Amino acid sequence: MKPSNFKILAILLIAVFLVATSAIWIRLSMEVANNFTIGFSLFLAASRLIISALILIPTVYKIKPSQVSTKAFYYAVIAGICLAGHFASWISSLAFTSIVASTTLVTTNPIWVGLLSRFFLKEKLSKSAILGIAIASVGGVLIALGNEGNINSGSNPLLGNGLALIGAIAASLYLMFGTQAQKSGLSISNYILIAYSTAAIALFPLPLLFGIKYTGHSEIIYVYIALMAILSQLLGHTGFNWALRWLSPTFVTLSILFEPIISSFLGVIVFQEIPPLSILWGGLILLLGVAVAVTGKNQPT
């Protein structure tokens, strides 16, 4: 039985908020450790996914290999590798650029999905999608220019912004392969178990290569990681997947655009990180471009 519209929207709103808190847990962990390096960022990314995968392991009995095509498992594994790339790059971006710039740029994945679909699947871009990409590009330029010389822009905003964009592209590939995995027969619960576990395995050795151990950190850091894994990953992202059962993908995608707004607001409260007007305007224009691209995705060219 379909839940009430109020319940669906309430759960979606909660999911957006929980995902938006991820940037705050990450930045708090970095400040407590006084470590803003890529190695520590990889430790946070790997730990988040390891905890998520471990929580999901009891559901492994639900996977019926004989009832699912091999292709579905391949898609899920590739999606997990892309997810690892997404978190590795995006979490690292928060060590170098502002919360508002990082979270705004990483939510451009609908645009990258459109471009990648055009390149790999030979799908045509609608006029609205092209217009949205152009508008978003203007916003991206304003964000890049607004970072220059600003105290709240991070230690290396150019690197941080680049990592956030890489994170957006990786997230787009994750969504594309994940969609194919589910279309090929995997349920959502089976899919996220395989994808999260693959991502965790892929990320596990990387912090060690940078000299960062999994033990010996402040207890509060492990609390922040657990909050990321449970609230932002399992509840937040699962909330999106659940909402997709009842709402159009376009509506859910548009709702996700509130994530950088919430993250930026929390950043002001927790870290007094007040971005300059140029970044705020750039972020709003970029999100407008994404919204135009998403709403025009299914329109004929």
Q: What pLDDT digit, counting tens, does each position of 176-193 carry? A: 888 888 888 888 888 889
Q: Is the pLDDT of residue 128 over 90?
A: no
Among candidates 14, 49, 93, which has minimal Cα distance to 214? Answer: 49
- CA–CA distance, 179 with 249 (Å, rounded to integer): 12
* Span between the terminal Cα atoms of the chain, in Å: 37
Q: Is the pLDDT of residue 66 over 70?
A: no
Q: Is the pLDDT of residue 147 over 70?
A: no
Q: Which two tokens stand for residue 146?
A: 């607004």
pLDDT of residue 150: 57
Q: Which two tokens stand for residue 168?
A: 């957006």
Residue 194: count of CB within 10 angstroms of its CB: 23
Could you tell me which residues come within 8 angstroms of residue 48 by beta carbon, excluding any fewer than 6 positions away? 87, 225, 228, 229, 232, 233
Residues 123, 117 contacting (CB under 8 angstroms): yes
- CA–CA distance, 216 with 174 (Å, rounded to integer): 32
Token pair 């990648």 in the structure block, residue: 116
**pLDDT (average), residues 70-96:** 95
Q: Is the pLDDT of residue 12 over 80?
A: yes
**DSSP string covering 198-215:** HHHHHHTTHHHHTT--SS
**pLDDT (average), residues 10-29:** 94
Model confidence band, residue 108 (pLDDT cutoffs 50, 70, 90)? confident
Model confidence band, residue 19 (pLDDT cutoffs 50, 70, 90)? very high
Could you tell me which residues come within 8 angstroms of residue 141 by beta carbon, excluding any fewer than 6 positions away? 282
Of residues 294 and 206, more confidence is placed in 206
Among candidates 151, 46, 154, which has minimal Cα distance to 99? Answer: 154
Q: Is the pLDDT of residue 299 over 50?
A: no
pTM for the predicted model, two decimal places: 0.88
3-state secondary structure of 126: coil
Q: Could you say which DSSP state residue 125 is in? A: P
Q: Which two tokens stand for residue 166?
A: 């890489």
pLDDT of residue 300: 41
pLDDT of residue 301: 38
Q: Is the pLDDT of residue 175 over 90?
A: no
pLDDT of residue 122: 67
Q: What is the dihedral of CA 23, 293, 251, 281, to 10 degrees?
A: 50
Percent pLDDT > 90 in the chain is 46
Token pair 């217009």 in the structure block, residue: 131
Q: What is the pLDDT of residues 240-279, one digit of tens each?
A: 877 877 777 667 777 888 889 899 899 999 998 887 788 8
* CA distance readout (Å), 5 to 16, 144, 202, 260: 16, 39, 39, 24
- CA–CA distance, 241 with 235 (Å, rounded to integer): 10
- CA–CA distance, 163 with 157 (Å, rounded to integer): 10
Residues 218, 33 contacting (CB under 8 angstroms): yes
Model confidence band, residue 148 (pLDDT cutoffs 50, 70, 90)? low
**pLDDT (average), residues 121-137:** 80
